[in-house]
Structure 1
Amino acid sequence: MKKGTKTQGIVERIDFPNKGIVFTEEGEKVIVKNTIPGQKVEFVVNKVRRGKAEGRLMEVVEKSPLEEACDCPHFGICGGCVYKSLPYEKQLDLKVNQVKKLVEDAVKDKCEYEFLPAISSPLQNEYRNKMEFTFGDEYLDGPLALGMHKRGSFYDIVPVKECKIMDEDFRTILKVVTKYFDEKGVSFYHRMRHEGYLRHLLVRKATKTGEILVDLITSTQIEKLPVNEKELLEGFAKVLLKEEYKGTIKGILHTKNDSLADVVKDEGTETLFGDNFFYEEIMGLKFKISPFSFFQTNSLGAEVLYQTAREFISDSVSNGDSKDEALNEVLSDKVIFDLYSGTGTIAQMMSPVAQKVVGVEIVEEAVEAAKDNAKLNNINNCEFIAGDVLKVIDNIEEKPNYIILDPPRDGIHPKAIEKIIDYGVDHMVYISCKPTSLARDLEILLARGYKVDKIRCVDMFPFTANIETVALLQRVN
């Protein structure tokens, strides 16, 4: 099959992440993203390498028997959801089977393990507590738009005013802000010319407290603004505060960003109204969240994820006792390492049953937030260290009795995983947001004396291609 070939085929399956395995009538295999098993699709081959072909989806010729009517007008245009036309149970099965296949290929016959039923997200719609919108236009020289990037496009913006997975208050804010700046005639930042003012809008909301933080990200190019910048920003805050929401506006911010990259970056933030933070609650703990600090995008799903991790830890030490009693008895004089600890959520969750919890995180802002949150929750047996796990663990005096791993999407650095294994702890819990990275790291852990005890998927991102996985590992030799 040659590059540029336009043809059709049937989607046989989806491999992680979002790779549709399509077979043509001639039996040729092509990878086509953004497809669903059972669809007949038309595509153009855009890459052929070492006998493997990849194609760009042009049209869904026939829908899959698995699909149903979709309730989102943006589906297929927006670059967000990929499974919105599937019933929730079907898309969950699809993602779990992807993880199951990756784990089976990694473990092979090296050990027996239990693959537990997946846990659904408590909310399938309106679960996202954070959205980063981009200013632009829907088409070349079109009117101002604010939303998500169009699928497959670096420039075009889809104004996702009816997006189903974000909070209703986010949809309201999206409409209000677009209308305000469109009426003022303010230009968006052109990503090729590097000219213009409006760049992004960051919105966060606490599921438990209902507090909302809105942050407008702009360039510092104020020369061509139709009005004085101070007046413009005051008006921006005023129109937001006039609107009615289910939640409460806790803060309105303005962040400057002159980076050439199309990313949300903090190069100076001022508070236009209220505070520059808000509070969220997870498993009885309170967390202070700033506009750029990491926090799981599905608050209720995060509770399920962390509860699953805690249950795995309980199971590994229970010996038939009640799980809570086992945790207190076995870990009360023990040290737990929470590696890749983020803002310290897991560390603080485990602190009541451990003598000490040591968290290591490379993002300094997240470490400072973890320290602040520990004080907020009156926790004094957690230590948070800023630095790369690979380098930091050599300098920690304490030795762990238990290790919790929650690495970024790319997994654990090969040299770091060797150092982690050398601690020789009896059990580890590995929380993964990318199953291909988990599978790779499991191969190393199994080769170095560990076995997989049990695995469970937790769906934190309904209708997208992503899913979290929790694995319990036990040392056997």
Structure 2
Amino acid sequence: MNKVKIERLDDFGRGIGYINDKVTFISGAIPGEEVECEIIKESKKYNEAKLFKIIKESDKRIISKCKYYKECGGCHLQHLSYEDSIEFKKNKLKNIFNKNKISINDIDIIKNNFNYNYRNKIELKVKDGKIGFYENKSHNIVSIDECIVAKKCINSIITALKKCDLEKANITIRANYNEEILLIVDTNDKFNYENLIKNNKIVGIILNDKLIYGEDYFTEVINDLYFKVSYNSFFQINEYICSKLFEIIDSNIDNNSNVLDLYCGVGTLSLVASKKANKVYGIEIVENAILNAITNAKINKRDNLYFMCGDVPKLIDKIDDNIDIIIVDPPRAGLDKKTIDTIIKNNPKKIIYVSCDPQTLVRDLKILEEYYDIKKATALDMFSYTYHCESITILERR
């Protein structure tokens, strides 16, 4: 065992200390604490260690409300108060900007109104009949009865699933604003779902990508906008923070502007922009998502939306209108070089960059900063009690 004094947190919420002058990362440790730990991974530059005992405890440490927190790999910051977890995320974003020499004024952060029972989607594993999440840094299953960051209606399904006699499966549970449930199951086992459908909140069950009950979609409502969401389409997991994201985007859309929404998914941000814009073009590579987007435009009676399915750089060249504003909401990998080059070539007045990964965000901003000024960056606590940090950055052409 090693005794270590924790000096600070890294970007993943791990405590940082030193063993024989080598940086050591310890999950669950807090700055100011002295802990006993055991090295579980050693490399030339750093160690990873497992926390065994807290010798001197920080006054910032709290007892997690989750009974599975010490084993489960889902959340990372439940040993901190909500306010301290928010401060961690704000500082994380600020530090990443500063390290990359990206000039920015103070970063605001929008807090979650419900930091528990907020997630509208969870992904469960079933192994040897145990239903739950992966253990931290392991493929062992932590069997659970509930997930306290998931909506309560989702937790009721977890309880019911335990009676379905599954031995091995991957399960996704999705819920909407009205607590309707889509259940997606991948398994080679016989799936006895008859008792599940007695729960009238289940509107659809998809087994191995085939619809076996109800519908393969539900409707989500945010800020008076209606969205058809198929079982395999992306949608933000936190409805309240999503509504705040919509408000920021709406406030940055100029009247009668032409807007291009890259990675548009089911058309969420396109619909937000369409309220003020002249035309909105949405591009998405997933065909099912584009079909949802077209339906969503009709549901919301917006006739200034145009959706295209395919590769972003190729399809942008097919748009004849001059683009005033480009919205990007890429996956964690950020923007590829071709897309950035295409954005710069189109020379929009404004770029609205929604990001779920600060590292790839600043990588892309360093290129865009040659042509654009960063006007505002806002962090959003989309994923409470995790180290993940959603953000929205507004850039304006010089």
Q: Residue by residue, what CA displacement relative to the aligned partner does 1:183-242 show, whole Å, maximum 9, x if unpaired?
A: xxx5x23xxxxxxxxx122211112x22112233212xx6xxxxxx5xx53xx23x1234
Aligned position for 2:182: 213
Match in the other structure for 2:216: 276
Distance 1:65 1:57 in 2: 21
Aligned AA (2:172): L
C-alpha contact (below 8 Å) 1:213/1:277 kept by paired residues: yes
Give the aligned residue type for 2:86: L
TM-score, normalised to structure 1's length?
0.78
**Residue in 2 aligned with 1:472?**
394
Following superposition, the deviation at residue 336 of structure 1 comes to: 0.4
- 1:29 counterpart SS class: strand
The answer (yes or no) to whether the contact 1:161–1:174 under 8 Å persists in 2 is yes
1:120-140 per-residue CA deviation (whole Å, 9 max, x = no partner) reads 012100000011111114xxx
Question: How far apart, CA to CA, are the structure 2 residues paired with 1:450 and 1:401?
Answer: 13
Aligned in 2, Cα 1:388/1:9: closer, same or farther, shift over 3 Å?
A: farther
Task: List aligned pairs for 1:4-403, cutoff 5 A.
Answer: 7-24=2-19, 26-39=20-33, 40-49=35-44, 52-62=45-55, 63-108=57-102, 111=103, 113-137=104-128, 144-154=129-139, 156-181=140-165, 186=166, 188-189=167-168, 199-207=169-177, 209-219=178-188, 229=190, 233=192, 236-237=193-194, 239-243=195-199, 248-256=200-208, 266=209, 269-272=210-213, 274-311=214-251, 313=252, 327=254, 331-332=255-256, 334-403=257-326
Contact 1:12–1:37, Cα closer than 8 Å, also in 2: yes
Residues in 1 aligned to 2:311 and 2:157: alpha-carbon distance in whole angstroms = 38
CA distance in 2, matches of 1:114, 1:79: 34
| Counterparts of 2:71 and 2:230, CA distance in 1 | 31
Q: In the aligned structure 2, how far is the partner of 1:60 from the partner of 1:430? A: 42
Superposed displacement of residue 470, structure 1: 0.9
Deviation at 1:30, TM superposition (A): 2.1
After superposition, the Cα gap between the structure-2 partners of 1:43 and 1:445, relative to the gap in structure 1 and judged at 3 Å, is farther
Any gaps of 5 or more consecutive residues in structure 1? 1-5, 138-143, 190-198, 223-228, 257-265, 315-326
Tell me the CA shift for residue 176 of structure 1.
1.6
CA distance in 2, matches of 1:387, 1:419: 15
Take 1:216 and 1:45, find their aligned partners in 2: how far apart are those partners?
Answer: 34
Does the aligned pair in 2 maintain the 1:75–1:84 contact within 8 Å?
yes
Q: The residue matched to 1:395 in structure 2 has which SS?
A: coil
Check the 8 A contact 2:261/2:280 in 1, yes or no.
yes
Q: In the alignment, is residue 439 of structure 1 matched against residue 362 of structure 2?
A: yes
CA distance in 1, matches of 2:125, 2:380: 29
- 1:450-461 matches, within 5 Å, as 450-461=372-383
Q: CA deviation at 1:19?
A: 4.6
Letter in 2 for 1:253: I
Counterpart in the other structure of 1:262: none
Distance 2:8 2:294 in 1: 45
Task: For 1:387 and 1:18, locate their aligned partners in 2 and report how far apart those are by CA, in whole Å.
Answer: 37
Deviation, structure 1 residue 309: 2.6
TM-aligned CA deviation for residue 304 of structure 1: 1.1
Give the conservation status (yes or no) of the 8 Å contact 1:72–1:162.
no
Contact 2:24 2:49 (8 Å CA) reproduced: no
- Secondary structure (helix, strand or coil) at the match of 2:106 reads strand
Instruction: Write the letter of the residue equivalent to 2:247.
Output: Q
Give 3-state SS (helix, strand or coil) of 2:136's partner: coil
Q: Could you tell me how far apart the structure 2 residues matched to 1:462 and 1:147 are? A: 19
Q: In 2, Cα distance between the equivalents of 1:46 and 1:92?
A: 29
Shift of the alpha carbon at 1:42?
Answer: 0.7
1:370-395, Cα deviation, whole Å (9 max, x unpaired): 11111111112111111222332233
Residues in 2 aligned to 1:105 and 1:395: alpha-carbon distance in whole angstroms: 38
Contact between 1:287 and 1:373, CA under 8 Å: does it hold in 2? yes
TM-score normalised over the length of structure 2: 0.93
CA distance in 1, matches of 2:127, 2:99: 43
Letter in 1 for 2:179: G
Please tell me whether the aligned partners of residues 28 and 51 of structure 2 are also in contact (alpha carbons under 8 angstroms): no
SS of the aligned residue for 1:347 comes to: helix
* Distance change (3 Å), C-alpha of 1:179 and 1:41: farther
Tell me the distance in 2 between the aligned counterparts of 1:386 and 1:36.
46
SS of the residue aligned with 1:76? coil
| Number of residue pairs the alignment of both structures matches | 396
Q: Which structure carries more helix by proportion? A: 1
Deviation at 1:468, TM superposition (A): 0.8
Q: Do the aligned residues in 2 keep the contact of 1:452 with 1:471 (CA within 8 Å)? A: yes
Please provide the CA RMSD for this pair: 2.0
Q: Deviations over 1:77-121 (max 9, x none)?
A: 11101111211000010111010001122234xx5x332421101
Following superposition, the deviation at residue 281 of structure 1 comes to 0.1
The answer for unaligned runs of 5 or more in structure 2 is: none
Whole-Å Cα distance in 1 between the matches of residues 145 and 87 of structure 2?
29
Q: Distance in 1 between matches of 2:377 and 2:76?
A: 25
Aligned-pair distance for 1:169?
Answer: 1.9
**The residue matched to 1:100 in structure 2 has which SS?**
helix
Distance 1:280 1:449 in 2: 37
